[in-house]
Structure 1
Amino acid sequence: MKRFLTLVFFAALGLSSCKTTNLFVDKEAGNAVADLDSIFLPEGNYEYHIRKDDKITVSIWGEDDLSVGSTYGIYNSNEVYGKWLMVDALGNIEIPKIGSVKVENMTTGQLKQALEIRFGEWIKNPVVDIKILNREITVLGEVRDPQVINVDKERNTLLEMITRCKGLENYANAKNIKVMRQVGEDVFVANIDLTENGDYLRKNINLYPGDVVVVPSKKNKEFDRRVSIIIPFATAITAAAILFGAL
C-alpha cells in the first residue's frame, strides 16, 4: 500500500514540476501604444498602400472584357473564383489593353485615378473600381475562434477584431495582449492592457491590414491543465492500491 502511495506522490511531483514559458507574456513589448499608432498616422490619416503579392480586382463599368473580377457584372467575381491580378515581385500588375502598371505603394484611390486617365483615352468618362482582396488582420492565441480576418474598412479596432473572433477565452491574459505591426523590414510591438481601468479609447487601438494580434494565456493555465491530469491519475492509482490491499 505504501509503495503505491509513494508512486502516486512522485508521479504527481514529476508532473507538477514541468515548466512551460509563455513567450508572449515574458517578452517585453518595445513600443508604447501611442508610438505604434503614430507609425501609420503621422498626420492623423491612414490609407492602405498596395504591397507585393496583393490580389487586386479592377472593375470598369460596362466594360466586362477589360475588367478583372468586376464588381459591376452579373457574376460578382472574387477571390473564391480566382479572378484577380497579383502584384508581382517588381510591384507591377498586368492590366488588359494597358499592360504592365507599377502599383506598389499606391493607394486604391491613386490607382483608380491613374486608370481612369488611361482608360479615358478610348472610353468616355470611365467608372473604375479597385478592390484589394487580401487585406487581412490576424488574431492568434486565447480567443474562441482564432482566425485571419479579411477587412474592407481602413480602420478596425482591437475590440472589434476580438469580437469577430467570438471573444476571449477564460484563460486569456488580457493584461498582456500584443499587437505586432510590420513596416518594411521592421516589426513594432506594443502591449495592450485591457484590465486597466480608464483610457479605453487609447487601449482600443486602431488595427490595420497586416497587423497581428496575439492574446497570450495566463500562467495558471498550464498548472490547471496539469492538475486536471494529476487528479484522475492519482485517483486511479489510489483505487488500484486499495483494491490490491484488499486482495
Structure 2
Amino acid sequence: MNRLIISLIAMAMLTLSSCVISKKVTYLENMVVDSLYKMQDIPELKIQKYDRLSITISSKTPELAAPFNPDGGIYNVGDNGEITTSGAGGGTTEKGYMVDRNGNIDFPVLGNIPAEGKTVDELKKFIYDRLINENLINSPLVRIELLNLKVMMMGEVGSKGIINVQDGQMSLLEAITRSGGLTNNALTEEITVIREENGYRKMYVSNIEDVNFFNSPTFYLKQNDIVYVKPRSAVPTPREDLTWRYVGFATGLLTLGVSLVALFNRN
C-alpha cells in the first residue's frame, strides 16, 4: 500500500515538473561542420519617411561649404589619399534632417530634396550632382549618415526594448544576442520580423534552427524593424506562477510525510 502511495506521488511530481520543462534553445541546429555556406550581401537601406539624416557638405574652400552647414565645412586630402573633414558642427547637422511625410528633406540653399526610397549613396550622389551642375561647389565632399537606425525587440528575449544600431547594419542573430538571447520558452522555429516596405507593413517568419536562415530576407535587419519572438507555451501570470509554487511546495511536503510514514512502518 505504501509503495503504491509513493509511486502515485512520484508520478504526480513528474507530471508537474514536465509542465514547466521548456525546449532547449538551439541555433542553426542542422549546420554541418566544415561545410561552406554562401554569405548574403548586406542590403542597402532605403530611406523612409521620418528618418533622420546627418548631412555634411565639405569643400577645400570653407566659404563655399558654409551655407550648407551651420559651422561651415572644409576637407583636406593627405599624401596617402585619406580625406579628413571638419565643420560638422551643431544645429541642423547634429540632430539631423528629418524626412517629412512627403518623403523630402528641407536642405539649405538646395531647398526640398526627394529622399524617400533612395539609398544613402543615391542621395549622396543626387546632392553632389546638384552642387556641381548648379556651380555651387566645384569639388564637394558629401557625407550622409542615417541617425535613427533602430529595431524593437519583443517577446521571449532576455531584454525587451529598442536597440540602436551605430554602424549602420545588424543581423537578426546579433540583435537577439544584444537583447540577452532567447528564453527557454522561445519558439525558435518562428521568429517574426515586421517590416515597413513601400508604405505597408509586411511580416516575415524565420527558423533560426535551420541553416536556410542565412538566406532569409530578415537575416539583416532594417530600420524600424519589429522583432517578435513567440512563446512556445503560454507564459503563466504572476498569480498562476505563485499558485504552482504553492502546489509544488505542498506536494513536496506530502511526499516527505508519506516517505517518513513508510519508513516508520518498516521499523
1:144 equivalent in alignment to 2:158? yes
C-alpha deviation, 1:185, in angstroms: 4.5
TM-score of the two chains, using structure 1 as the length reference: 0.63
Secondary structure of 2:235's partner? helix
* Residue in structure 2 matched with residue 125 of structure 1 by the alignment: 139
1:48 equivalent in alignment to 2:45? yes
* Residue in structure 2 matched with residue 32 of structure 1 by the alignment: none
* Residue in structure 2 matched with residue 201 of structure 1 by the alignment: 214
Secondary structure of 1:175's partner? strand
* Residue in structure 2 matched with residue 95 of structure 1 by the alignment: 107
Distance change (3 Å), C-alpha of 1:164 and 1:233? same
C-alpha deviation, 1:148, in angstroms: 2.0
Q: Distance in 2 between matches of 1:75 and 1:59?
A: 6
C-alpha deviation, 1:152, in angstroms: 5.1
Structure 1 letter corresponding to 2:113? V
* Residue in structure 2 matched with residue 21 of structure 1 by the alignment: none
Structure 1 letter corresponding to 2:104? N
Distance change (3 Å), C-alpha of 1:144 and 1:45? closer
C-alpha deviation, 1:223, in angstroms: 7.9
Number of residue pairs the alignment of both structures matches: 192
C-alpha deviation, 1:221, in angstroms: 3.1
8 Å contact kept, 2:107–2:113:
yes
8 Å contact kept, 2:70–2:89:
no
C-alpha deviation, 1:143, in angstroms: 1.1
Distance change (3 Å), C-alpha of 1:218 and 1:64? farther
Query: % of aligned pairs identical?
Result: 27
C-alpha deviation, 1:187, in angstroms: 3.2
1:113 equivalent in alignment to 2:90? no
C-alpha deviation, 1:202, in angstroms: 4.1
8 Å contact kept, 1:59–1:72:
no
* Residue in structure 2 matched with residue 176 of structure 1 by the alignment: 190
Greater shift in the superposed pair: 67-76 or 90-99: 67-76
TM-score of the two chains, using structure 2 as the length reference: 0.59
Q: Which has the higher contact order (CA 8 A, sep 6+)?
A: 1
Distance change (3 Å), C-alpha of 1:114 and 1:173? same
Provide, for residues 100-148 of structure 1, a one-character-per-residue CA deviation record: whole Å limited to 9, x for no partner.
Answer: 1122212111111121122232223110101111122222111112222
List structure 1 segments (4+ residues) > 4 angstroms apart after TM superposition: 68-72, 74-79, 152-155, 233-236
* Residue in structure 1 matched with residue 22 of structure 2 by the alignment: none
Greater shift in the superposed pair: 103-112 or 58-67: 58-67
Secondary structure of 2:246's partner? helix
* Residue in structure 2 matched with residue 243 of structure 1 by the alignment: none
Let me know the Cα RMSD of the aligned residues: 3.6
1:67 equivalent in alignment to 2:69? yes
8 Å contact kept, 1:93–1:101:
yes
Greater shift in the superposed pair: 165-174 or 204-213: 204-213
* Residue in structure 2 matched with residue 39 of structure 1 by the alignment: none
Provide, for residues 24-78 of structure 1, a one-character-per-residue CA deviation record: whole Å limited to 9, x for no partner.
Answer: xxxxxxxxxxxxxxxxxxxx77322221111111101253552269894467659
Greater shift in the superposed pair: 90-99 or 198-207: 198-207
